[in-house]
Amino acid sequence: MHLFELSFIAAVLLAATPVLYASLAGAISAQVGVFNIALEGQMLWGAFAAVVGSFYTGSAWAGVLIAVISTAVFSITLAVGAAWWKADPIVIAIGVNLFALGITGFLMRVLFDVSGSFSPRGLVGLEKMRFLADIPVIGPIFAGQTLLVPLALVLIVAVGLWLKFTPRGLRLRGVGEHPDAAASLGINVSRYQFWVTIAAGALCGFAGAQLSLGNVTVFTENMTAGRGWIAVAAVMLVAGRPLWLPLACLGFGAAEALGFRLQGIGAPQQLTDAAPYAITILVLVATRIRLPARFRRRSLRPTPSTESIS
Amino acid sequence: MSAPAELPTDQAPRPSWREHPVARVAGIAVRHPAVIPLGAVIVAVLIGGVIIVAAGLDPITAYAAVISGALDPDSLDYTFSVWAFICGMALAAAIPLRMGEFNLGGNGQLVLGGLAAALVAGQLDLPAILSVPVALIAAAVLAGSFGAISAPLATKFNIPIIISTLLLSPIAIALVSYLVRFQLGEEGSAVAQTERFPDEAQMWSIGNLSYTNVGLVVIVLLMIAFWLVDSRTAVGFELRVVGANRRFGSYGGVRVGRLAIGAMAASGAVAGIVGAIIVLSSPYRLIDGALLSPGYTFAGLAAALLAGGRPALIPVTAILFTVLQVGGASMERSADVPRQLSDVLQGVVIIVLALRTVIESRRSGGKGAA
């Protein structure tokens, strides 16, 4: 029973890690007032870039690096549009998601002449941390995982504390809380928004790399399969506060991991497909009822033109 | 104002080059309302061309294949049916867009409409004259009420419509997929699909066309209805007022909550009717995943954005995405360019449209209206 539980925790972490990175990306974007729903497309690009990088260099870590850098570059459209040009980030993101879906499928066909999925012989995946295997508790949980899994948790805690306790973090939050007030104190609002959106892109690169080189070693068309949207849901769930993200993401990861087990005993897959979305909407409804009115203002709001009805 | 110009802030002074005569003339030329959509399309086509060249293929052949494939007289019948579906989904996107909201749950509403139509067509033994209208109404009611849920979620629970439609959609898709796979599925079939509907329950055909049918007429009528409501009624005016400025709207006596319910219900109902028409047309079955794989929802959303939500322009902008969709396959066949390029071009059109605020801010002479 003990082993079963630890292996279940490992499965939950594995399922949650790409969403952890992507939701951290969404959370920091939310903190500067950019409503980022391009996570799905950026993660998909990251997954593709990681496989391409690993394939051509023969090194999985080079693949990760290429994924992170190229996804940061990939997010320039959103960053420039939302931060400098004051365009609607939602519309840009819808376009970015479609573009990512198209361009990854297109390049897969053009570069490798395959469609559907790409896993050539010799594609190197990320190494698992086998050296941990003998340590009790930590071993069974982390030995089968890549280094990117604990890194996600470390990054989330670091970013969360940084936002909370450093002057720059405070300024960053101020940018999202009240851009005009922040600007009047001499903070360059657009610059914060720009660089945070680029950083969010880099994080989505990590998410994609973990997905295509960590969880499996293959790229398949549309392999993110809604994980970016689950990340958006997680960001909504925690109102953009990074330190709460592990709770939300591990919850979703548990639903997904539990789903695999339920399928084993014949429960329909559709039930578990819908679970994260149903949980999120129920929790959103429930928390909005319970939270006192003054907290409601702290909730996320899209840009004024698409602000929720209130 | 002692701040040096090299450090632009949010309220940076307007660059002096805008006062230059050439910039002024360009500014006037850019004012025409057709400039932005046309510019977006041209930019997308150019970027697509660059991508095709970069892939070592021939863009002229590729685009020629797209157009000839879509306008091939033999398949014009099919092209028209796709145009109708994209128009329908564009309509579903445009109604909430008029009040500044995004309905990203078109996929869920589409499959629910398909489900309702399949239940009526497959389970009720209605006479031919009743079956199709009842199926369409059932689809509109089911998908419309599903869409309407998002309005109170926004007004009462502060969950933005874009988020709630996004979250509810996968739930509906999973539900329909489950029902087709395990409850309504044809016995002994390898594919998850319902049995073929009886002849009485099939969408009325026009002449001997195999794809285009009365469904196209229904969608055209819906578009005319939306155009009339939008331009000739108080509700349409309220919708646009709320879209332009929500607080002004509610200050002026618009009951925003009720309006939102109506708009979201109408949006869902239209998407549901599109789903019903697809299911009631050839091959006359509800097939798991078949409603979503052509990507009508996002093609429709792109068409609605390109039209700026204006009802009269939707039929025109839908042509572009129909040509991309239908021509993509023939481009793949005859020019060897992967049809995923269609998605790329759709994405580029939307991105360019989103970035248009730069031009619009120049028009109004102020800073960008975010």
Q: Is the dihedral of CA B185, B190, B191, B196 positive or negative?
A: negative
| Mean pLDDT in consecutive groups of 10 residues from the start of chain B, 370 residues | 47 61 70 75 89 86 87 86 94 91 92 94 84 93 95 84 89 91 79 83 81 88 91 86 79 83 94 95 86 88 87 91 86 83 88 72 42
Alpha-carbon span B357 to A84, nearest angstrom: 11
CA distance A143 to chain B (A): 34
Asked if the bond preceding B294 is cis, omega within 30° of 0, the reply is no
Burial class (CB in 10 A: 0-12, 13-18, 19+), B9: middle
Report the domain count for chain A: 1
CA distances from A241 to A36, A37, A42, A250 (A): 14, 16, 21, 15
Q: Tell me: the pLDDT tens digits for A33-47?
A: 888 889 999 999 999
Radius of gyration of chain A (CA): 19
Looking at the complex, does the CB of residue A138 fall below 8 Å from at least one CB of chain B? no
* A43 closest CA partner among A154, A151, A205, A172: A205
Amino acid identity for residue A102 in this structure: G
CA–CA gap between residue A161 and residue A163 (Å, rounded): 5
**Chain A with chain B: Cβ pairs closer than 8 A:** 198
pLDDT at site A292: 41
E runs forming strands in chain A: 117-118, 219-220
Percent of chain A residues past pLDDT 70, beyond the cut: 90
Q: Which residue has the tokens 């970013």?
A: A159
Indicate yes or no: CB of B160 within 8 angstroms of CB of A307. Answer: yes
Class of the domain covering B67-323: mainly alpha
Q: Which of B247, B331, B340, B349 best tests the A interface by mutation, with the highest count of A CBs <10 A?
A: B340
pLDDT in tens, A100-123: 999 999 999 888 888 888 888 878
Q: Is A188 on the interface with B (CB under 8 A)?
A: yes
pLDDT of residue A141: 78
Domain extent at residue A289: 2-306
Please answer whether residues B353 and B40 qualify as being in contact, where contact means their C-beta atoms are separated by less than 8 angstroms: yes
- The structure tokens listed for A57 are 């260099």
Cβ-Cβ contacts under 8 Å, B301 against chain A: 94
Mean local confidence (pLDDT), A28-37: 89
Provide mean pLDDT across the span A55-71. Answer: 92
Within 10 angstroms of residue B28's Cβ, the number of other Cβ atoms is 10
Of A150, A169, A149, the residue nearest A161 (C-alpha): A169
- Estimate to the nearest angstrom the gap between the alpha carbon of B183 and the chain centroid: 30
pLDDT digits (tens, 9 = 90+) for B118-176: 999 888 878 878 889 999 999 999 999 999 999 988 888 878 888 889 889 999 999 99
Other C-beta atoms closer than 10 Å to the C-beta of B199 total 9
CB-CB under 8 Å, B343 with A102:
yes
Contact A92 B260 (CB under 8 A): no
CA angle, A70 as apex, A65 and A72 as ends, to 5°?
Answer: 100
Q: What's the rounded Cα separation, in Å, for the pair A226 and A252?
A: 12
Of B294, B317, B338, the residue nearest B65 (C-alpha)? B338
Q: What is the dihedral of CA A210, B174, B339, A45, to 10 degrees?
A: -20
**Identity of the residue numbered B351:** I
Compute how many other C-beta atoms are within 10 angstroms of the C-beta atom of residue A99. Answer: 26
CATH number at residue A257: 1.10.3470
Q: Which of A86, A106, A284 sits opposite B338 (nearest CB)?
A: A106
Q: Whole-model pTM?
A: 0.84
Q: List the domain boundaries for chain B.
A: 67-323
CA-based nearest residue in chain A for residue B54: A110
